[in-house]
Every structure is written in C-alpha cells, then in structure tokens.
Amino acid sequence: MVGAGYVGLVSGACFSEFGWDVVCVDNDSTKIEALVQGKLPIYEPGLDDLVKRSVTEGRLSFSTDLASSLIDAQIIFIAVGTPSRRGDGHADLSYVFDAVSNISMYAEPNALVVTKSTVPVGTGRDIQELLNKKNPNSKLLVAANPEFLREGSAIEDFMRPDRIIIGAECEKSKNLMKEVYRPLFLKATPIVFTSLETAEMIKYASNSFLATKITLMNEFADLCEKVGANIQDVARGIGLDGRIGGKFLNAGPGYGGSCFPKDTAAVVKTGQDINSPLSIVEQVIKVNENRKFSMVQKIIDSFGGSVSGKTVGILGLTFKPNTDDMRDSPSLVIIPELIRAGANIKVFDPEGMESAHNYFTNLIWCNDAYETMKDSDALVILTEWNQFRALDLERMRSLLRTPLVIDMRNIYNPEDMKSALFDYISIGREPVYGSKE
C-alpha cells in the first residue's frame, strides 16, 4: 500500500484483517516512525485496535523503503494524495506519478498496480504507458479501484461497502482483484467490473452527485428560512421517495473535507479542457463557496449586525465528526472571517485541536465544550460531534454571557431551546427567541 494516509492506512489495515500480508509504505518518515512505535498519525474510530491486532499477528508492517516492501508483492495499491493543483484546480498527480516511477523500478514482474487514489479519467491509461516505458520487461498490469470510504466510518465502509468498483481489462487483473476482495464477495458485496476510464469516472460522478445533493438542500434551507418552512421535514418528506433516498440531505454550513472540494474542482477542469462542461457542478462549487461566507453573515446578523469586540464560542472545527481532518473544513473560512469582523474566538473540537493548530493562530483553545461557552457572547455549533448533542442547557445558559446559540448542524430542537430560554438560530428552520419569553 503506497501512501499510509486516511485511505492507505485504513485499506492496508482492513486488507490485513482479511488475512493478506500488507506493507504500508510512506515517504513521510515521521508518519512511519509513529506507526512503527504503535502510534496512529490520524484519528479514525476503531483503527487503533485493527492496526494493533494485525501488527501483533504479523500481517501488517510499515516502511519508508519501497524497494524492500515490494519484494513478493503481487498487488501494489497507490493511495497517495491527489490534492488540487495550485492555481488551476486540476488534480495534482505529481505524487501519483512519483509513486508510479518508483514502483516501476522495484515491482516484481507481472505485479498488478492499482490506483485507489482519486485520479482524473485517463490517468490509469497514462500509468500503464509509463510503466511499459520505464520497465517493459516486467509486464506490469494496471487496474483502477477508486475508494469510497468516509472518514469517521472508514472501517465499516471498507468492510461493508455498498459496492466495489474495479476498472480492469485483462482476466489476470480481474482475478487478482477478485481474490484480494474475496472476503467481501462472500458477503455478497456487489462488484462492478468495468474499464479503467469508467471506474475513474464513477468516482468523480459519485462525489459530484453527492456535492450537488447537499448543496441543493443548503439552498432549499435558505428558502425555507424565508418562507417559514422546515428543512428537516422537507428532507424527510423528499427522502422517503425511493428515487431520492433519505441520506445526505442534511443542510449545513456547506460541504468541505478532503474530497468533495478538490474532486468537484478537478472534474470541472476535465470537462472544460475537453469542451464538455459540467455546468451544474460548476454552479455547485460557486454556491458552496459563497455559502461559507453567508454563514459568517448569518452569525453576524444573529448578533444584531456586529461581532466587533464580542467573544464567540465555537464547537467543532473538523469538516465532520469522528475525524481529525481539517482539510477544507468550513471552519477555515468562517473563523478567520469572524476574526476579521472583530470577534474573539474560543474553540473546542474533540479530535481536531492538534491539526487545527496548523491552520489558526489567535484562538482561545479550550479543553471542553463548557469552557468554550464560559463568558462567550454566543455559541456556534459547526460540527455535529455526538458529545455536543446533549449538552446541559441550564449549565450552558449560566456560562454564556448571552443565551444565543447558532446551530449550523440542527442538532437541537428549536422548541426545547426556546423552553430553555435561548435565542436559537439554526439552518432552514425558523429562529426562536426564548430570551424574550
């Protein structure tokens, strides 16, 4: 497994749980040293135990040395990052092609090289060409196996996926891929075999669809607020339609994370380059970017027009709960904008604080949710961690300077908040003003 990040580490640990011998290779020596010492470089629920078990039982190891790691490797997964390229939004494939170049030198003859990284259509074909050119005698095979796991539930997603997509074009590659996923075959997981290009496209189409779904709900949430409708009931009402489906309909402060922003940008670039524009996805990106700024305005409006000199307590920094991943989190826009508007910011996140230190200065870092509220003029909920869902409302009111809660994840019931004498502003639902009761 080349690349031991969120995808590589989880995939490597899960494959070793199936019984395969796995080496996770990364060129980040700090990461590998931590792993060798039994420390996980990321937070992912359940990963610690899984890694420990496989390491103890001798099926999983970690290395920075690709050459020795590839000895006897029949399948080499590439799980390195494909971030947005600076300036133009294309996927930056430099890590992938670095990895491919190195693999071409050390792979065993006839080994199968599989991209798990999200790569633009055509990349698999380019990888095959490069491998043939650099090492024609080894007859290395190529397959595409885009990954769909979600941070926060990555192990469950890997072990019980909705489907496995495999782009492979010869029987030998197909059989190797079938074999490596055999334990999931036995659980009747649907496996779609297709071409390299189609497999690559499925991943981008999937993320574009989901980004569109959530963005549509976010715009409907705004409309609901204006006309006195309730977005959560709307979501339930439409989600019961089998053609729409009930998942991924929660309105919020705009999508973020390590995948949707960069993948939508990359696929839009692909479309533009070959004159087949994805105008819906282009619009989704714009709406989503603007939304983070309109959330700042929503907070400022809740204060009556100015946050200057006010202290805002913020719960949640990561882009979603159960991860420490801060990449493209809405908090990265909302917090600096509030600071620019003159606010002092207190924050707490259960797992994201260490990573957040790389992104923010001038914040007041708190040890728990209640410390964040103490002497704050309002509380803003940005990420729906479970531990924020049932806070002690009386204690909250006694700690906050003013009983104002702005909940961007709709985790509280407006009526309950009103009864607890809070002014409570949420997303796509009518605000309630309990302080005036």
Tell me which residues in 188-227 interact with ligand NAD (CB under 6 A). Answer: none
Least distance (Å) from ligand NAD to the CB of residue 118?
A: 4
Least distance (Å) from ligand NAD to the CB of residue 382?
A: 19
Interface map 12-51 toward ligand NAD (x if CB under 6 A):
-------------xxxx--x--------------------
DSSP, residue by residue, 243-283: TT-SSS----S---SSSHHHHHHHHHHHHHHTT---HHHHH
Among 51, 202, 211, 259, binds ligand NAD (CB under 6 A): 259
- Answer yes or no whether residue 265 interacts with ligand NAD by CB under 6 A: no
24 is an active site residue:
no
Please give the structure tokens belonging to residue 177: 């891929």
**With the C-alpha atoms ordered 221, 335, 265, 14, is the resulting torsion angle positive or negative?**
negative
DSSP alpha helices (H): ranges in 257-376? 260-273, 279-302, 331-340, 353-356, 369-373
Q: How big is the site for ligand NAD, counted in residues (CB under 6 A)?
A: 26
| Closest CB to ligand NAD among residues 69, 426 | 69
Tell me which residues in 80-99 interact with ligand NAD (CB under 6 A). Answer: 80-82, 95, 98-99
Looking from the CA of 27 toward its CB, the CA atoms found within 13 Å total 12
Strands (E), 303-431: 311-315, 344-348, 364-365, 378-381, 404-407, 423-425
- Answer yes or no whether residue 4 interacts with ligand NAD by CB under 6 A: yes
Least distance (Å) from ligand NAD to the CB of residue 229?
A: 33
- Answer yes or no whether residue 5 interacts with ligand NAD by CB under 6 A: yes
Stated as kind and residue range, the H or E segment containing 112 is: strand 112-115
Least distance (Å) from ligand NAD to the CB of residue 308?
A: 37
What residue number has its CB nearest to ligand NAD?
Answer: 5
| Closest CB to ligand NAD among residues 66, 363 | 66
| Closest CB to ligand NAD among residues 16, 118 | 118
Tell me which residues in 144-183 interact with ligand NAD (CB under 6 A). Answer: 147, 149, 151
- Answer yes or no whether residue 7 interacts with ligand NAD by CB under 6 A: yes
Contact 287, 218 (CB under 8 A): yes
Please give the structure tokens belonging to residue 141: 């095979």
| Closest CB to ligand NAD among residues 10, 417 | 10
Least distance (Å) from ligand NAD to the CB of residue 245?
A: 20
- 159-187 CB burial, b ≥16 within 10 A, e <16: bebeebbbbbbeeebbebbeebbeebeee
Q: Backbone dihedral region of 242: left (phi > 0), alpha (psi from -120 to 50 degrees) or beta?
A: alpha
Q: Backbone dihedral region of 432: left (phi > 0), alpha (psi from -120 to 50 degrees) or beta?
A: beta
Active-site option among 14, 24, 224, 259: 259
Contact 165, 202 (CB under 8 A): yes
Contact footprint for ligand NAD (CB under 6 A): 2-8, 25-28, 31, 79-82, 95, 98-99, 117-118, 147, 149, 151, 258-259
Q: Which residues are catalytic?
A: 259
